[in-house]
A = this chain, B = another copy of it.
Amino acid sequence: MNNISKEELNSRISELQQKLKKQNIDSAVIIQNADLFYFTGTVQAEYLYIPDSGEAVLLVRRGNKRAEKETALEKIVEFKRSAEIPEIIKKEDLDSPDELGLELDILPYKTANKLQQIFAADKITNITTLIRQVRMVKSDSEIQLIKRAANKLKAVPQLTKEHLTADMNELELSAIIEQDLRQKGHTGFVRMRGLNNELPLGVCTAGKKSTAEVQVDSICAGAGVHPSAGVGASKSRLKDSEPIILDYVATHQGYIADQTRMAVLGKPSAYLQKTYDKMVQLQTELSKYLTPDYSWQEIYEEGKRLAEELEVTDYYLGYGDNKEKFVGHGVGVELNEFPFLATGLDFKLKPGMTIALEPKLVVPDIGAIGIENTYLVTENQPKKLTTASEELIKV
């Protein structure tokens, strides 16, 4: 089952190698699941050793035959104990690196030190930015997978209409949507890079609850079922005319699409309907800037400008001390990929980027109001991949 073709893996690896060389990093070792999957097509291996040129070596713990079946890479070496690795590297005619690139933003301190020792590196360097740069522009086949993930989110309005009733709480509605995603092949967990980035498959959060602050770098991520979780749907009852946020992450074969829609039980207030319409308008206007002509920060700035025009500045991306510093993020094998549409990031967009744009308001005492779609950046206009109806879902 070669889920990612040899050509694609080789092109990804060779792109990383070019970046390594440019920075005089002799080799890289990849171990985190999202990165490992991206560069090998499997998560069943222990280490992917990438020299700055030549073939990469996949190091697999003896007894695990799945890596070999799942990856299209050809150089696979089994080992039993880490102590064998220096010998293996030597046998493969590879030098011990002076400078070894590692995923130091997420690699545990102990693991990083152990890897430095195992691979006898003089120095270790963080290569997460390089990895994220390689990953940020998607190939045609990746775009197809993200499209298929996005298609799974099309059912959210219909599911909500079918199942939402007046005696429900956030969690009950969320569990129905989560189950639907899972039945459609969701992996059952969401990959968001970083310690403590724990998430359910998505969030249903409404009214005041949706104004809860969360540690996770996300707007209105929900109060969670309990302080131990602190994110996701809560057990609060969904009340008449409250804005209900439905923010879900679908996966297809390891690739992510991110979408938010809004629902309301009973009649929405004039304020809610008007404000939601503004946010849809803001998103539509803002999405036009998702082209190679604009930089990451310019889109963030355009968003702020549009919020001013629409007179929603006070609540835009949060209020008071709790304003989020970004209006969108790349999606791919992780939920928080490059680009981040945020201030201070002066890089142009590129065709092939897939971006979740999420202009949202957090209105005190009323709740979060907003929308989110995943877009594909092309040479010309952006293409919206999440195509669920954007109408306020009225039940």
Partner of A321, one of B63, B174, B195, B215: B63
Once the chains are docked, how many angstroms separate the CA of A189 from the CA of B107?
21
Partner of A171, one of B31, B111, B113, B185: B185
Does residue A108 face the partner (Cβ distance < 8 Å to B)? Answer: yes
What residue in chain B is nearest A195 (Cβ atoms)? B108
Once the chains are docked, how many angstroms separate the CA of A43 from the CA of B191?
19
Does residue A382 face the partner (Cβ distance < 8 Å to B)? Answer: no
- A213 with B44: CB separation less than 8 A: yes
Once the chains are docked, how many angstroms separate the CA of A63 from the CA of B212?
11
Q: How far is the CB of A347 from chain B (nearest CB, A)?
A: 21
Q: How far is the CB of A214 from chain B (nearest CB, A)?
A: 7
Binary contact readout A18-62 vs B (1 if CB under 8 angstroms, 0 otherwise): 000000000000011100010001111110000000000000011
Chain A interface residue number, banded: 35 or more
Does residue A284 face the partner (Cβ distance < 8 Å to B)? Answer: no
Q: Give the residues in chain B near A254, CB-CB below 8 Å.
A: 226-229
What residue in chain B is nearest A185 (Cβ atoms)? B225
Q: Which of A64-72, A130-138, A338-346, A369-377 contacts B (4 or more CB under 8 A)?
A: A64-72
- A33 with B198: CB separation less than 8 A: yes
Does residue A253 face the partner (Cβ distance < 8 Å to B)? Answer: yes
Which of the listed residues A41, A106, A227, A322 has the most CB atoms from chain B within 10 Å of its own CB?
A: A227
Q: How far is the CB of A49 from chain B (nearest CB, A)?
A: 17
Partner of A44, one of B104, B230, B255, B333: B230
Q: Which of A176-184, A257-265, A383-391 contacts B (4 or more CB under 8 A)?
A: A176-184
- A195 with B225: CB separation less than 8 A: no
Q: How far is the CB of A35 from chain B (nearest CB, A)?
A: 10
- B226 with A3: CB separation less than 8 A: yes
Partner of A63, one of B65, B174, B320: B320
A228-257 interface (Cβ within 8 A of B): 228-230, 232-233, 235, 251, 253-255
Does residue A271 face the partner (Cβ distance < 8 Å to B)? Answer: no
- B183 with A215: CB separation less than 8 A: no
> 9 closest pairs, A vs B, by CB?
A228-B254, A188-B200, A63-B321, A187-B229, A179-B179, A109-B112, A175-B182, A70-B227, A64-B213
